Amino acid sequence: MAQVNPTVGDLDGNSRIVVDYARRAHEAGAHLAVFPELMVTGYPVEDLALRNSFVSASVKAVAALAERLAEEGLGELPVGVGYLSRRVGVGERYGQPAGTPQNAFALLYRGRVEITSAKHHLPNYGVFDEFRNFVPGETLPVVRLHGVDVAFAVCEDLWQGGGPVAAARRARAGLLVTLNASPYERDKDNVRMELCQRRAREMGAAVGYVNMSGGQDELIFDGDSLIVDAEGELIARAPKFEEDLFVTDLALPAADDTAAGQEPRSEEPGEAVDGVRVVRHLHSAEPVASYAPDPPVLTPRADPSTDVGDVYRALVVGVRDYARKNGFGSVALALSGGIDSALATTVAVDALGGDRVHVLLLPSKYSSDHSVSDAEDLVKRQGITARTVAIAPIVAAFEESMPLEGLAAENLQARVRGTLLMGLSNQEGHLVLATGNKSELATGYSTLYGDSVGGFAPIKDCWKSLVWELARWRNAEAERTGAVAPIPENSIAKPPSAELRPGQVDTDSLPDYDLLDGLLDAYIGTDKGMRELAIDGYDPELVQRVIRMVDKAEYKRRQYPPGPKISSRNFGRDRRLPITNRWTPRA
C-alpha cells in the first residue's frame, strides 16, 4: 500500500508517483500495489469533476499510466489506483452531475486497464460534496489474484453498512482493499481502525485500508494506513503524516468456488443485490510459491489522550504543502511577541526551514518593551530573517488625512501592518501567513484587511487555549531532544493583548479563554442552542453575548484565508451559514 501525497490536477506528476512507488513495491517482492482514492487526479477535485475535459484527461492518464508501467518493466505487478471516470451508456438525469463523473477504481496490469469500478456511497456531510460531483457506481470487483479472491472498494463504501461490504461478504472475498482519502481531525486516531475491525468481523475477511497523506488546501491527510485480519486483529500500521510504502505479507485463504457457489469469470455482472452487482475477474488462479514472510510493521502510536503532537504535525504539513503546491518558496508574517504569531512562525519554520521564513516586527506607540524583546528573542532562537518597521509615523500620516478615534483608530494600526506585509509579499514573492486563532475568528475579534491579510492561516482552526497547549508541547519536544526551545517563555506566560491602546488585554473584550473556548466549541462544534448551553452550566447572559458576537462576525470569516482543518467542524468547508441572517437563537 502506497501512502502518498498527490496534488489535485497534476495528472503527470501523480502518475510519476505511481510509477516510482510501484517500482519500489516490485523491488520489495509485492504481488499487489494499491494507491489512494483519486490518486491520479488528486483529492478532492471538487467542481473539476464537472469539466468534461478534466474527466477525459483523467481517463486518458490512467490508460497511459498502465502502458508506462509495462514499459518500465512493471507490467506483471497488478497496480490499483483511484481516478476520475464517467459512467458510460447512460444518459444525463435530472438532479445528477452533468457528464456523469465517477470516483473510480482501476486495476492496471500488463499495459492495460484490467478492471474498473466506482464508489457507491457518496458522502454529503462535513467537508464532502460528492453528491454534487459524482454519480454512484453499481459494481463490486472481486479479482482472483494468485488463488485469493480480493475485493476492491473506495473509502465511504467501507464506512456505510450494506452495499459493497455486504457484497464482499456474499462473494466470500478473502481480502477487502479500500482506497481512501480520509482527512485528519482530532480524536479520529482509532476511529478508522475500529471501523476496519468491525467490517472484517462482519465479512470474515481481512481488510486493507490505504489512506492518502499530505495537504490539499484546508484538508490534511494523515496516512495511518492499516491492515487487520479476518478476526479484526491489527496486523500492520503505517506512520502518520508522512509518505510511506507499506509492504505487508498476508496469509489469506484460498478461494473456495464450492462455498462461493460460482466459478470466477470475466463477464457482465448479474442481478444486483442491495444495489451492488459483483463482477468476478480471473487474474491468476495459481497460488504463489511458499516463502518466509517479513515481519509486519506496527508503527507505535502516541497516547491518544494527548494528541497535541498530532495537531502540531498536521499544521506543519498544511503549511508545507500549501506553500509548495502553490509555488511559494518562502513565507512572511508579522511577529508581535505574542503567542499567536510566535506559534505560527514556529510552525512555518518547521514546515519550510528558517531560511524561508521572513518576519516583520511592526511596533506601534502602544507596543510594550517586552513584546519587542520577546519577538527579537524568538528571531534569535530560530535563526530567521527579521526586519523592524515602526508603524507610528505611518499611522500618524493616515490620521493627518482622516482623523480617527476609538475602534477605528485601533483598526487602522492593524491595517497599516497588513499593507506593509502585502507590500513585502508583492516585492519579494513571499506567501503571507495570517496569525489569527479560531477564538478570535469566532467572536469577530480581528480586523478585516488587517489581521485577516494573508494567503494561508496556520492556526485558523485552533482555539486560543489550544494555541498555548501547542506552544508548550513544541518547547517540551525541543527540550526532550536537547534543542533550544523555539518559543520564548514570556510569549506563553504573559496575558494576551492586541496592544492597540494603552494597557489593553484580550479580557477587556472577551471572557477568559478557557471558559470562552468551551462555550464556542459547544455552540459551533455541536450546534447546541441557548437552553442546552445553559443546562451545561454556562451563564445565560454570557451565552447570549457570545452567540451574538459569533453570528455577527460571519462576514469576516468568509473573507479570511484558508487554513489547516484539525477539528471536526472548522470555519470553511465544514460550517456554511448565510451572512445576511436575522435568525437569533432563543432556545
Q: With DSSP H G I counted as helix, E B as strand and the rest as coil, what are the percentages for the chain, rounded to 5?
A: 40, 15, 45
What is the spatial distance between Cα 250 and Cα 206, in angstroms, rounded to a whole number? Answer: 9
Q: Is 326 annotated as a binding residue?
A: no
What is the spatial distance between Cα 499 and Cα 371, in angstroms, rounded to a whole number? Answer: 9
Q: What is the pLDDT of residue 348?
A: 97
| Residue 269 in this model has a pLDDT that exceeds 90 | no
| Residue 260 in this model has a pLDDT that exceeds 60 | no
pLDDT: which is higher, 271 or 299: 299
Domain boundary (462, 482, 504) is at: 504
The mean pLDDT value for 196-214 works out to: 95
Number of domains in the chain: 2
Strands (E) in 266-354, as ranges, are 277-282, 331-334
**In this structure, are residues 18 and 35 in contact, taking their beta carbons and an 8 Å threshold?**
yes
Q: What is the pLDDT of residue 266?
A: 43
What is the spatial distance between Cα 382 and Cα 440, in angstroms, rounded to a whole number? Answer: 26
Same domain flag for 348 and 263? no
Among all chains, which residue has been given the C-alpha cell 442491495? 274
Same domain flag for 179 and 324? no
Q: What is the pLDDT of residue 264?
A: 46
Q: How far is CA 50 from the centre of its chain?
A: 22
Tell me, yes or no, if 119 is annotated catalytic: yes
Name the 3-class secondary structure at 6: coil
The DSSP letter of residue 525 is: I
What is the spatial distance between Cα 461 and Cα 446, in angstroms, rounded to a whole number? Answer: 15
CA distances from 583 to 139, 538, 547, 574 (A): 45, 21, 11, 20
What is the spatial distance between Cα 313 and Cα 223, in angstroms, rounded to a whole number? Answer: 12
Q: Is 309 annotated as a binding residue?
A: no
Q: What is the pTM of this model?
A: 0.92
Angle between the N-to-C axes of helices 339-352 and 369-382, in degrees from 0 to 180, rounded to the nearest 10: 10
Name the 3-class secondary structure at 313: helix
- Read off the CATH number of the domain in which 436 is found: 3.40.50.620
**In this structure, are residues 144 and 281 in contact, taking their beta carbons and an 8 Å threshold?**
yes
What is the spatial distance between Cα 329 and Cα 407, in angstroms, rounded to a whole number? Answer: 36
* Per-residue pLDDT tens digits for 6-50: 999 999 999 999 999 999 999 999 999 999 999 999 999 999 999
548 in a domain, yes or no?
no
What is the spatial distance between Cα 11 and Cα 41, in angstroms, rounded to a whole number? Answer: 5
For residue 240 the three cell numbers come to 502518520
Same domain flag for 193 and 342? no
- Read off the CATH number of the domain in which 200 is found: 3.60.110.10
For residue 388 the three cell numbers come to 523592524
Q: Is 534 annotated as a binding residue?
A: no
Same domain flag for 276 and 320? no
Residue 27: phi, psi to the nearest 5? -65, -25
Give the model's confidence band at 107: pLDDT under 50 very low, under 70 low, under 90 confident, else very high: very high
Which amino acid appears at position 65 of this protein?
A: L
- Give the active site residue among 46, 71, 72, 155: 155
CA dihedral 94, 99, 101, 106 (to 10 degrees): 140
* Per-residue pLDDT tens digits for 389-447: 998 999 899 988 988 888 888 889 899 999 999 999 999 999 999 999 999 999 998 89
Q: Is 336 annotated as a binding residue?
A: yes
20 in a domain, yes or no?
yes
Which amino acid appears at position 231 of this protein?
A: E
pLDDT: which is higher, 508 or 493: 493
| Residue 477 in this model has a pLDDT that exceeds 90 | yes
The mean pLDDT value for 330-345 works out to: 94
For residue 80 the three cell numbers come to 490499483
- Tell me what percent of the residues of the chain surpass a pLDDT of 90: 67
Same domain flag for 275 and 375? no
Q: Is 412 annotated as a binding residue?
A: no
Q: Is 516 annotated as a binding residue?
A: no
Strand bridging mode 206-211 / 331-334? unpaired
Same domain flag for 492 and 409? yes
136 in a domain, yes or no?
yes
Name the 3-class secondary structure at 483: coil
113 in a domain, yes or no?
yes
Name the 3-class secondary structure at 429: coil
Q: What is the pLDDT of residue 125?
A: 82
Q: What is the pLDDT of residue 300?
A: 76
Among all chains, which residue has been given the C-alpha cell 453575548? 545
Q: What is the pLDDT of residue 267?
A: 40
296 in a domain, yes or no?
no
Same domain flag for 104 and 150? yes
What is the spatial distance between Cα 400 and Cα 547, in angstroms, rounded to a whole number? Answer: 38
Q: Is 124 annotated as a binding residue?
A: no
- Give the active site residue among 37, 185, 218, 410: 37
Give me the domain span that covers residue 18: 2-282
204 in a domain, yes or no?
yes
- Give the active site residue among 27, 67, 71, 119: 119
Same domain flag for 270 and 199? yes
The mean pLDDT value for 314-332 works out to: 97
**Quick one: 340 exposed, middle or buried, by C-beta within 10 A (0-12, 13-18, 19+)?**
buried
Q: Is 133 annotated as a binding residue?
A: no
The mean pLDDT value for 233-251 works out to: 94
467-476: list long-range contacts, CB under 8 Å, 24+ apart. 467/339, 467/340, 467/343, 467/437, 468/339, 468/492, 469/308, 470/308, 470/311, 470/312, 470/315, 470/343, 471/339, 471/342, 471/343, 471/346, 473/308, 473/309, 473/312, 474/312, 474/343, 474/346
Q: What is the mean pLDDT of the chain?
A: 90
Q: Is 92 annotated as a binding residue?
A: no
Q: Is 66 annotated as a binding residue?
A: no
Q: What is the pLDDT of residue 91?
A: 60
Same domain flag for 22 and 155? yes
Q: Is 520 annotated as a binding residue?
A: no
Q: What is the pLDDT of residue 60?
A: 97
Same domain flag for 25 and 174? yes
Q: Is 83 annotated as a binding residue?
A: no
Q: Is 339 annotated as a binding residue?
A: yes
CA dihedral 531, 532, 536, 540 (to 10 degrees): -30
CA distances from 373 to 1, 34, 369 (A): 49, 52, 6
Domain boundary (265, 282, 299) is at: 282
- Burial 76-104, CB ≥16 within 10 A → b, else e: ebbbbbbbbbbbeeeeeeeebbebbbbbb
516 in a domain, yes or no?
no
Domain boundary (461, 480, 504) is at: 504
Same domain flag for 20 and 68? yes
Same domain flag for 251 and 360? no
* Per-residue pLDDT tens digits for 67-97: 999 999 999 999 999 999 998 766 666 667 7
For residue 72 the three cell numbers come to 518500465
560 in a domain, yes or no?
no
Tell me, yes or no, if 155 is annotated catalytic: yes
Which amino acid appears at position 7 of this protein?
A: T
**In this structure, are residues 221 and 200 in contact, taking their beta carbons and an 8 Å threshold?**
no
Q: What is the DSSP string of 87-117?
A: --S----TTS-TT-EEEEEEEEETTEEEEEE
Which amino acid appears at position 175 of this protein?
A: L
What is the spatial distance between Cα 212 and Cα 14, in angstroms, rounded to a whole number? Answer: 12
